[in-house]
Amino acid sequence: MDLGLRGRVAVVCGASKGIGLAVAEALAAEGVLLALCARGKDELKAKAASIEQRFGVEAIHCALDVRDDGELRAFVQWAAAHFGRLDIAVPNAGGPPAKGFLETTTAEWDSAFAANLRSVVAVAQAAIPHMRRDRFGRIVAITSYTAKQPSPGLVISNALRPGVAGLLRSLSNEFACDGITANAVGPGYVDSERTREVLRGQAAMRGVSYDEAVAAAMTDTPLGRMATLEEVAATVAWLCSRQAASTTGQTILVDGGSYRGL
């Protein structure tokens, strides 16, 4: 399916690895021009160069922390000024720490709020005026399965992700008339380097093998395996497509069927 995205411009946050990088690659494969940000300068630069070489699209980049509201807004403006337009925005960052509620600190709550909720506000506020001008926009935030179903040990995520869903639903109501959609993609377990690290830690803690830790994690996943990075990224790319114009205000889970609600 041609997603109709060739020549469009996207900002993708947290794009040096994991889901953000996979999204950048999926959009580049569709001919989308990219502005990428993440914290680590060298890794981001290398990944942007690799994308340019493999997909033949321009990928500008800027190292920043999405918790810095001013820098994040300036990054979005810089991208729009550089390309002369802005069609797609993918707010994304690393997730909050996994902890029991009583072990969480105020600093961790503040940091997660800034990285996982306020950054979506900043990206959307900076991007929407550009999208509105061209009467086309796609905002796709990377959130989590916890947007719909709280997960044990992920209390900060459980509290913040539904807030992002509420924000995006509000934006969908306000800006649908401008051709702008606002959705989230919520992964369950994704087979990424970060997840493997977490599962290796759990295996060591329980004194079991890595495969046993994966099997335990998959107990509640009917599909029986983790989603791939490419499957998550393909869902994001489709939400950005011209064909997805009527899908807005949704959190689309990529969770192998783990969520049991309707």
**Which residue lies nearer to ligand NAD by CB, 69 or 178?**
69
HSE toward the beta carbon, residue 210, CA cutoff 13 A = 6
Nearest-approach distance from CB 258 to ligand NAD, in angstroms? 10
Binding track over 126-165 against ligand NAD, x by CB under 6 A: ----------------x-xx--------------------
Secondary structure class of 31 (helix, strand, coil): coil
Inter-helix orientation angle 119-134/69-83, to 10°:
20
Is 192 a residue that touches ligand NAD (CB under 6 A)? Answer: yes
**Which residue lies nearer to ligand NAD by CB, 4 or 113?**
113
Is 124 a residue that touches ligand NAD (CB under 6 A)? Answer: no
Q: Length of the chain, please? A: 262
Dihedral angle over CA of 212, 149, 165, 160, nearest 10: -80
Query: Residue 107 CB: number of other CB atoms within 10 A?
Result: 8
- Pick the stretch among 34-42, 52-60, 166-174, 203-211 that binds ligand NAD (CB under 6 A): 34-42
Per CB under 6 A, the list member of 8, 61, 67, 148 interacting with ligand NAD is: 67
Q: What does the alpha-carbon distance between residue 158 and residue 162 come to, in Å, rounded to a whole number?
A: 7
Per CB under 6 A, the list member of 24, 27, 88, 115 interacting with ligand NAD is: 115
Nearest-approach distance from CB 143 to ligand NAD, in angstroms? 7
**Which residue lies nearer to ligand NAD by CB, 195 or 248?**
195
Is 93 a residue that touches ligand NAD (CB under 6 A)? Answer: yes
Q: What does the alpha-carbon distance between residue 46 and residue 38 come to, in Å, rounded to a whole number?
A: 12
**Which residue lies nearer to ligand NAD by CB, 14 or 256?**
14
- What residue type is 138 in one-letter code? R
**Which residue lies nearer to ligand NAD by CB, 5 or 142?**
142
Is 18 a residue that touches ligand NAD (CB under 6 A)? Answer: yes
Secondary structure class of 195 (helix, strand, coil): helix
**Contact status, residue 10 vs residue 48, Cβ threshold 8 Å:** no
**Contact status, residue 240 vs residue 5, Cβ threshold 8 Å:** yes
Per CB under 6 A, the list member of 58, 65, 108, 212 interacting with ligand NAD is: 65
Dihedral angle over CA of 27, 31, 37, 41, nearest 10: 120
Q: What does the alpha-carbon distance between residue 166 and residue 186 come to, in Å, rounded to a whole number?
A: 14
Cβ partners under 8 Å of residue 145, min gap 6? 151, 186, 187, 188, 253, 255, 258, 259
Q: What does the alpha-carbon distance between residue 255 and residue 239 come to, in Å, rounded to a whole number?
A: 17
Is 256 a residue that touches ligand NAD (CB under 6 A)? Answer: no
- Pick the stretch among 4-12, 32-40, 99-107, 241-249 that binds ligand NAD (CB under 6 A): 32-40
- Pick the stretch among 23-31, 51-59, 63-71, 79-87 that binds ligand NAD (CB under 6 A): 63-71
Binding site for ligand NAD (CB under 6 A): 14-20, 38-40, 65-67, 92-95, 115-116, 142, 144-145, 187, 189-190, 192, 194-195
